[in-house]
Structure 1
């Protein structure tokens, strides 16, 4: 569980990075003109490392986008420093692909399988064993 301070700084970083990426603040051809969503930023307890979860629009080429962002991390960190003056020091940026939506779909499909659905619903009302 993150502290209030980690959550607050994570949101500052998330908003700033979203703005930078929307404006095309990177100089990487892999990222130019590609819409990228930043759903979450998790800060380390000492606020020195920001794990940035990203998802390209449409979900295609996620691994390439993460690699391109990692290459651009130094420049993005500089842009971040210029945009967010409230931070004492600018955190190191580590990018990860956000797979929560894929995980949710997998879970939904697993729960919809007949064998799992039968276990979830339990025995029929008439078979309660009371008499």
Structure 2
């Protein structure tokens, strides 16, 4: 999880984040966006996690690139359509405020694969006696 408080996110933050994640995924599957890069976004990216600030006014959706699309251009396209996502979230989320949404790349799987590779390539300890 990407939280900055030592306690961690509250149940409400987790619940709202998961609801927002489901809404974003459904919108990506429908693919009705102005940016042509997002027409096939449901097949190009996956939303791994949505973190919500403690006051529920900010939300960050972390995406993982699945196909050859450049991450930077995908993030630019998604952040350009953030208002469309926010409008749909406002309709479907029962909260006082609609969180301001931004998209960011999730490199946790790449980091874990790199750690796994490093561990795999460690020289084997010589067996003693």
Output the TM-score relative to the length of structure 1: 0.82
CA distance in 2, matches of 1:85, 1:106: 37
Check 1:25–1:87 CA distance in 2 against 1; reply closer, same or farther (3 A cut). farther
Q: How many residues align?
A: 120
> Residue 64 of structure 1: which of 73, 80, 84 is its match?
73
Distance (Å, rounded) in 2 between the aligned partners of 1:105 and 1:98: 13
Long gaps (5+) in structure 1: 127-131
In 1, are the aligned partners of 2:19 and 2:93 still within 8 Å (CA)?
A: no
Report deviation, 1:59. 5.7
1:72/1:31 Cα in 2 relative to 1: closer, same or farther (>3 Å)? same
Matched, 1:99 2:101: no
Q: Is the alpha carbon distance of 1:111 and 1:60 closer, same or farther for their aligned partners in structure 2, counting shifts above 3 Å?
A: farther
Query: In 2, Cα distance between the equivalents of 1:85 and 1:7?
Result: 14
Task: Identify unmatched segments of 5+ residues in structure 2.
Answer: 1-7
Partners in 2 of 1:28 and 1:59 — Cα distance?
17
Indicate conservation of the 8 Å contact 1:25/1:76, yes or no. Answer: no
Indicate if the aligned counterparts of 1:34 and 1:56 stay in contact, CA closer than 8 A: no
Q: SS of 2:37's equivalent?
A: coil
Which of structures 1 and 2 has the bigger CA Rg? 1
Partner of 2:23: 16
- TM-score (norm: length of structure 2): 0.83
Cα drift, residue 125 of structure 1: 5.9
> CA-to-partner distance for each residue in 1:89-111, whole Å, 9 max, x for gaps?
11001111111111111101111
